[in-house]
Chains A and B, each alone.
Chain A
Amino acid sequence: MTGNQLFKNPPYLEVAFDIPDWRRVEGIIRALPDHEAIIIEAGTPLVKRYGVEVCKKIHQIRPHAVVLADLKTISEGAREAKMAAEATADVASFAGVGPIEVQEEFIETCHDVGVTPLLDTINLHDPLPVLNELKVKPDVVELHRAIDLELTDAGHQWGNIREIKAAIGGGPVAVAGGIRVPKVKEAMASGAEILVVGRAITVAKDINNAARAFLREMGVE
């Protein structure tokens, strides 16, 4: 499925799991509302801790959920894309700071094996030149502010979402990094169709309600 088909009913709430502890993750996933607008992201530390097979384990708990393997690939593009497919990931990420040929290899392999490729812009100041240089385009772009920068760098770079959407043929743009409920409207107004939320949900005491607060603000519940 390509990104346009997979994400044909925006907006979406992507719940990101950066907690490298499966028992906690399992409990949180079970507590999430069973809503078609929720995408579950197996964060990079979770994948590196348990292997990409965590995607399969997430699908065992939530068979219908869209699961994103946050591989942030910067080398071995084809190999890592195939691994994501074998582990039943619906979407797989690569890093836009990686070598162009690795990114192209990743995107092409994703298309071959039926996984939606997502370009993650971590530490990439402007994704447009990279998107223009790529011979094949990713289906989704995630504007990503590193967790390590969340406390220091206050500004979001959501100014050119519409241009980015155009560069990838209309596919959705996700925004990540410190998004809380009051920021939802602003993010959506700037054109974002996928909101990536991590600890605002996964570390909440009442997980279900925390997720619902986002869904309500997004107007899908």
Chain B
Amino acid sequence: MISQAFSIGEALIGEAPEIAHIDLIVGSKNGPAGAAFATSLAQPRMGHTPIMAVIRPNLPVKPATLIVPKVTLRDLEAAERIFGPAQSAVAKAVADAVDEGIIPREQAEELAIIVSVFIHPRGKDFQRIYRYNYSATKLALSRAMAGFPDIDVVLEEKPKAAHAMIGFRINNLEEPPYIGVELVHDDWRRIEGVLNDLPRKDGIVIKAGAPLIKKYGIEVCQKIHEMRPESVVIADMKSLDTGNLEARMAGDSTADVVVFSALAPLKTQERFIKECQTIGVLSYMDTINVADPLEIIDRLEVKPDVVELRGNPTADMIAKVKEACGKGAIVALASEVDTVGAKDAVDSGAAIVMLGATITESAEINRTASSYLEELGIYEVDQFRVMTDF
């Protein structure tokens, strides 16, 4: 049953090029869904003529269903795909949804449905077009009626999702712990070697060290992303001045996280953090030569997303830093610890263990990095998940 003015459903089914992508609205004829239905039918646009879903010619389905083609129809061939298999597939799916109780039978007259249909111009196989659109429409309807997904599912899946078209997952430190690999060499060819040797795992984040940035310029972040599109890249700007300018520069060159120095004037730090918030990257406080990072964090008007601590901070210290920075803040530990030390750091509350020479100077970079991942129990998000639930 629909509790809001209308419900929305979405589903993607099948294989390219006939793959079906359905977006739909279902709601009362007396509400905005009904108004949209009438307006759309009364005002066709060139190439996107809305048509009624019909079981067969002269037999429209109930609830009344309008099909709107997503792709501009340029010729009769394209029109045939919509007016043929897609039109009847959608109608059959709606009728079956009523038959199966997905849509309450008593609402068959009350509801209006608008189905936005995607058919790729290269999709030729009518069998596939029909079946995929039937399945996608029925799935989208049942999702709309069930209110799927609820917000808990969205928040749970958000960091795990890899977008189908960009082919990688934008995962901005939401699934700790991580192993950080800091690249301080000022020789790109060596860096390339290290990047190639590192395991391709989400659990590894890459830090472009300050010398590397000063040697080649901030575009190294983009070069790292070209080699490892899925990796979070931290740009170690260690900004001391012109905070907003440097943060923006790093963001523009695809850095996910940008580093400022806690030695900078407070105003610079605040401007840096605010700029990071504006452009949607994470701010990262470096605490080199800072005796008491907590004192600085307390004085900052806005707090960093990540704080890097050095040496051997206690669990209590880590907890205090996280508390001072507020919800979602994480602590990175920069220290060349062994795997046991890394485990201890994570047990004490660190989310990132930042390693430098331990990994980059290792004779077997891949094995060394893997041993840390194993010790920390870091597995791929999708590795043990069967992707059939939805």
Asked if A52 and B264 make an inter-chain contact with CB atoms under 8 angstroms apart, the answer reads: no
Contact with B along A135-179 (1 / 0, CB 8 A): 000000000101111001000000000000000000000000000
Task: Say how far A153's CB is from chain B's closest CB, in angstroms.
Answer: 9
Asked if B238 and A75 make an inter-chain contact with CB atoms under 8 angstroms apart, the answer reads: yes
Asked whether A18 and B245 contact (CB < 8 A) given A48-B217, A49-B218, A75-B288, the answer is: yes
Question: Which residues of A36-67 have CB atoms within 8 Å of chain B's CB atoms?
Answer: 44-45, 47-53
Complex partner residue of B268 from A51, A79, A83, A148, CB under 8 angstroms:
A148
Asked if A76 and B184 make an inter-chain contact with CB atoms under 8 angstroms apart, the answer reads: yes
Complex partner residue of A18 from B214, B240, B242, B268, CB under 8 angstroms:
B242
Contact with A along B230-268 (1 / 0, CB 8 A): 000000011111110110010000000000010111011
- Say yes or no: is B48 at the interface (Cβ < 8 Å to chain A): no
- Say yes or no: is A10 at the interface (Cβ < 8 Å to chain B): no
Task: Say how far B372's CB is from chain A's closest CB, in angstroms.
Answer: 23
Task: Say how far A127's CB is from chain B's closest CB, in angstroms.
Answer: 14
Q: List residues of chain A with CB within 8 A of the CB of B218.
A: 48-49
Q: List residues of chain A with CB within 8 A of the CB of B217.
A: 48-51
- Say yes or no: is A4 at the interface (Cβ < 8 Å to chain B): no
- Say yes or no: is B367 at the interface (Cβ < 8 Å to chain A): no
- Say yes or no: is B229 at the interface (Cβ < 8 Å to chain A): no
A72 to B245, CA, bound (A): 16
- Say yes or no: is A108 at the interface (Cβ < 8 Å to chain B): no
Asked if A44 and B263 make an inter-chain contact with CB atoms under 8 angstroms apart, the answer reads: no
- Say yes or no: is B336 at the interface (Cβ < 8 Å to chain A): no
- Say yes or no: is A90 at the interface (Cβ < 8 Å to chain B): no
A140 to B249, CA, bound (A): 29
Task: Say how far A182's CB is from chain B's closest CB, in angstroms.
Answer: 24
Q: List residues of chain A with CB within 8 A of the CB of B288.
A: 74-75, 98-99
Which of B186, B218, B241, B264 has the most chain A CB atoms inside 10 A of its CB?
B241
- Say yes or no: is B43 at the interface (Cβ < 8 Å to chain A): no
Asked if A146 and B268 make an inter-chain contact with CB atoms under 8 angstroms apart, the answer reads: yes
Asked if B210 and A148 make an inter-chain contact with CB atoms under 8 angstroms apart, the answer reads: no
Asked if B240 and A97 make an inter-chain contact with CB atoms under 8 angstroms apart, the answer reads: yes
Q: List residues of chain A with CB within 8 A of the CB of B264.
A: 122-123, 146
Asked if A75 and B241 make an inter-chain contact with CB atoms under 8 angstroms apart, the answer reads: no
- Say yes or no: is A33 at the interface (Cβ < 8 Å to chain B): no
Q: List residues of chain B with CB within 8 A of the CB of A53.
A: 215
Question: Which residues of B278-308 have CB atoms within 8 Å of chain A's CB atoms?
Answer: 288-289
Q: List residues of chain A with CB within 8 A of the CB of B243.
A: 148
Asked whether A83 and B215 contact (CB < 8 A) given A72-B241, A122-B240, A123-B264, the answer is: yes
- Say yes or no: is B211 at the interface (Cβ < 8 Å to chain A): yes
Task: Say how far A97's CB is from chain B's closest CB, in angstroms.
Answer: 4
Asked if A45 and B242 make an inter-chain contact with CB atoms under 8 angstroms apart, the answer reads: yes
Q: List residues of chain B with CB within 8 A of the CB of A74.
A: 210, 238, 240, 261, 263, 288-289
Asked if B245 and A20 make an inter-chain contact with CB atoms under 8 angstroms apart, the answer reads: yes
- Say yes or no: is A14 at the interface (Cβ < 8 Å to chain B): no
A79 to B209, CA, bound (A): 12
- Say yes or no: is A104 at the interface (Cβ < 8 Å to chain B): no
Q: List residues of chain B with CB within 8 A of the CB of A79.
A: 184, 186, 211
Interface size on A, residues (CB 8 A): 32
A74 to B213, CA, bound (A): 14
In the complex, the chain A residue whose C-beta lies closest to that of B243 is A148
Q: List residues of chain B with CB within 8 A of the CB of A52.
A: 214-215
Question: Which residues of A4-42 have CB atoms within 8 Å of chain B's CB atoms?
Answer: 18, 20
Contact with B along A58-100 (1 / 0, CB 8 A): 0000000000000111111001100100000000000101110
- Say yes or no: is B120 at the interface (Cβ < 8 Å to chain A): no
A50 to B249, CA, bound (A): 11
Q: List residues of chain A with CB within 8 A of the CB of B184.
A: 76, 79
Q: List residues of chain B with CB within 8 A of the CB of A48.
A: 213-214, 217-218, 237, 246, 249
A18 to B249, CA, bound (A): 12
Task: Say how far B239's CB is from chain A's closest CB, in angstroms.
Answer: 8
Which of B184, B214, B240 has the most chain A CB atoms inside 10 A of its CB?
B214
A122 to B264, CA, bound (A): 7
Asked whether A83 and B265 contact (CB < 8 A) given A18-B245, A44-B242, the answer is: no
In the complex, the chain A residue whose C-beta lies closest to that of B289 is A99
- Say yes or no: is B160 at the interface (Cβ < 8 Å to chain A): no
A12 to B240, CA, bound (A): 25
- Say yes or no: is B271 at the interface (Cβ < 8 Å to chain A): yes
Complex partner residue of A123 from B209, B215, B242, B265, CB under 8 angstroms:
B265
Q: List residues of chain A with CB within 8 A of the CB of B379.
A: none
Would you list 6 pairs from A and B whose C-beta atoms are within 8 A, ordered by A residue?
A49-B218, A49-B249, A51-B213, A71-B214, A97-B261, A123-B263
The 7 closest A-B pairs by CB, nearest first: A51-B217, A97-B263, A148-B268, A50-B217, A148-B267, A51-B216, A99-B289
| Extra contacts besides A75-B238, A76-B209, A123-B268 (6): CB < 8 Å | A45-B246, A48-B217, A48-B249, A74-B240, A74-B288, A146-B264
